[in-house]
Amino acid sequence: MNALAATNRNFKLAARLLGLDSKLEKSLLIPFREIKVECTIPKDDGTLASFVGFRVQHDNARGPMKGGIRYHPEVDPDEVNALAQLMTWKTAVANIPYGGAKGGIGCNPGDLSFSELERLTRVFTQKIHDLIGVHTDVPAPDMGTNPQTMAWILDEYSKFHGYSPAVVTGKPIDLGGSLGRDAATGRGVLFATEALLKEYGKGIAGQRIVVQGFGNVGSWAAQLLSEQGGKIVAVSDITGAIKNSSGIDITSLLNHVKESRGVKGFSGGDSIDPNSILLEDCDILIPAALGGVINRDNAKDIKAKFIIEAANHPTDPEADEILSKKGVVVLPDILANSGGVTVSYFEWVQVYIHLFSNFHINIFLLLI
């Protein structure tokens, strides 16, 4: 199902359950602002390449809009719109004083050099700099972006508005980033899983866990769950999938991924079809990659008892209905993966505290 259609369907169901006024419901379905920009850059070989960038600002009723920027070939207006809406609900669930936004560029970052990525990021920032800001819209890293990307955005934005370290979160530590931000979303998955299992009188130790997507979120979640006694029995990423019913040594796998840039070829597990990863026998399934991977075609064959949505909207509404009838418990993404935006809020606040303290120190020095 289309990402925006799925998100809207879930929201309308929630609105009916809450008895939400129809006018308010309609208002919340329409984003505050949608931005589409053309980004043309010179490539390293001298040719020109054009990309389309998006920023959707969904709602600012609770505070500045907040949301990541992803670089991925499948970035399109509907996906960004859906993700921006999900950020509004996520920040509200986490009780953080933010609204929701999301952005992205339709590109394959793996096909671009370091300098090409920098040029693309800076051009994108030039196109949207007057529509983001410390009190308006605060971007963060997402799929295909990282602290370096945020450093480029900060630097380019500061050319127009002066040094503004709180305009993005997920920055390098030296630029005012927050310790633990890289692990935050995965750690949030750990805490959410612990809380859910506790409701059912269970703990993480001994649970058989499958992780689809071994990127930043999936790898941290696997590592932290493993440290708590969870048994990671299957893992996949864009390069392939592996399985070991006795449990995968996550430390060894992390070293392998660092050297080989993927799980493919890891000697501590048997290679399996990546398309079967969601259907592996396990207690807990953690989809930590793209949206819409659990749908009406495969939901009936899922064997997990619990699904922890570490990715954004990984389960279609039609699949939700099938899973509910099977008794599968699904922990929604707007809670399960909210650890990242929670630490982003801490980073945003700590920058303000630092600047505010320096301001008062300077005033004191002037007075004496």
333-363 burial, b at 16+ Cβ within 10 Å, e below that, comes to bbbbbbbbbbbbbbbbeebeeebeeeeeeee
Element (H, E) at 110: none
C-beta separation of 264 from 271 below 8 A: yes
Q: Give me the DSSP letters along 130-160.
A: GG-BTTTEEEEE-TT--HHHHHHHHHHHHHH
Helix axes of 22-29 and 3-18: crossing angle, nearest 10 degrees? 160
Per the residue annotation, which of 23, 102, 202, 303 is the catalytic one?
102
Let me know if 159 is a catalytic residue: no
Is 50 annotated among the ligand-binding residues? no
DSSP state string for 162-182: ---GGG-SS--GGGT--TTHH
315 annotated to bind ligand:
no
CB burial class (10 A; 0-12, 13-18, 19+) of residue 100?
buried
DSSP state of 356: H
Q: Residue 31 and residue 85: Cα distance in Å, rounded?
A: 8
**In 10 A of CB 206, how many CB atoms?**
10
Contacts 24+ apart (CB under 8 A), 156-164: 156/121, 156/122, 156/125, 156/126, 156/129, 157/125, 157/129, 157/132, 160/129, 160/130, 161/129, 161/133, 164/133, 164/134
Residue 320 and residue 265: Cα distance in Å, rounded?
A: 34
Distance CA(134)–CA(35), nearest Å, equals: 18
Q: Is 185 annotated as a binding residue?
A: yes
Question: Which residues belong to the annotated binding site for substrate?
Answer: 66, 90, 344
Active site residues: 102
Binding positions: 66, 90, 185, 216, 344
